[in-house]
Amino acid sequence: MSIQIIDGKAIADEIKKEIAIEVASMIDKDEKAPHLAAIIVGEDAASQTYVASKEKACKSVGITSSVYKLPASTSEKELLDVVHFLNQDLDVDGYIVQLPLPDHIDEQKILLAINPAKDVDGFHPENAGRMMLGLPAYLPATPFGIMELLKRSKIETAAKHVVVIGRSNIVGTPISVMLSRKAQNANATVTLCHSRTKNLKDITLQADILIAAIGKVGFVTADMVKPGATVIDVGIHRVEDVGKEKGYYLTGDVDYEEVAKKASAITPVPGGIGPMTIVSLLQNTLLASKRVIYS
């Protein structure tokens, strides 16, 4: 069977090009370029890297950005003040608060204080609820990326049985809702599985599209996959390997080698969902600058 390897990198580049063209035309019309702000609290190395790569991605498509770097000692009140400032600031179309926050700050409280109209991470409950109710919304990065990958890879979802493994707030739960909505590139019958699911294999074997978002290396094995299924691997794990130059390799929630022999389409790790998530943020920022979600 010939298999379609879904090239997340290529699709992400294609979307970036589309965004760049649109931003360029805004600037041509003397409109302001979209602007993304990021708040980062403390010195967490991974967070610094993420924010830097988001800035770089913005730059590559003409979106301007700014970073508010606050010391780890910032109080919750001080952070809320910055949030309230950005909620009002007309120059900022959308912004993100890089997680995790220091322990003395209530993360939930901060996320709830973000103006939903500027919540380009799609983490505020108003955006989650709008999506669920079929209203325009900022979609969270990973499920948004999955929707784009499926659409642009011409993988039919309507009337298909999608099985999602993992019910996290940022991936499994929202993608299960998105794919079941009455909408183009959705309309699937969706089963959401998780740690309490019994007879998981009986269920995954029914999947036309299987989405693995469990966070366990190689959890999805070939015996769990129906021949001809599409397999989307959301996991990304570093596995130590002294034989590799970097001392590790990256892998996902799916046993790629074996599953690829049965699937009709599959996302690799790395190079599948990964490159799509940052693109989702750019898409949301562009939408925010056009004021089309909240009007």
270 with 250: CB under 8 angstroms? yes
Active-site annotation holds for 98 = yes
Identify how many contiguous H helices and E strands the chain contains and give both numbers: 10, 11
Rule CB under 8 A: is residue 124 a binding residue for a second copy? yes
Is residue 2 exposed (0-12), middle (13-18) or buried (19+ Cβ within 10 Å)? Answer: exposed
Cα–Cα dist 195/245, whole Å: 35
Query: Is there a catalytic annotation at residue 121?
Result: yes
Q: Which is nearer to a second copy, 127 or 142 (CB)?
A: 127
Amino acid at 171: V
Q: How far is the CB of 196 from a second copy (least distance, A)?
A: 5
Among 74, 127, 267, 284, binds a second copy (CB under 8 A): 127
Asked if residue 105 binds a second copy (CB under 8 A), the reply is no
Identity at 22, one-letter amino acid code: E
Indicate if 54 belongs to the active site.
Answer: yes
Q: Which of 16, 93, 98, 283 is catalytic?
A: 98
One-letter amino acid at 56 equals: K
- Number of C-alpha atoms within 13 angstroms, CB side, residue 223? 3
Contact between 98 and a second copy (CB under 8 A)? no
| x/- letters, 197..226, toward a second copy (CB under 8 A) | xx----x-----------------------
Query: Residue 4, interface with a second copy (CB under 8 A)?
Result: no
Instruction: Report which of 184, 203, 205, 208 is spatially closest to residue 192, judged by C-alpha positions.
Output: 203
Task: List the catalytic residues.
Answer: 54, 98, 121
Q: Which residues contribute to the site for a second copy (CB under 8 A)?
A: 108, 124-135, 137, 158-159, 161, 167, 169, 173-174, 176-177, 180-182, 187-194, 196-198, 203
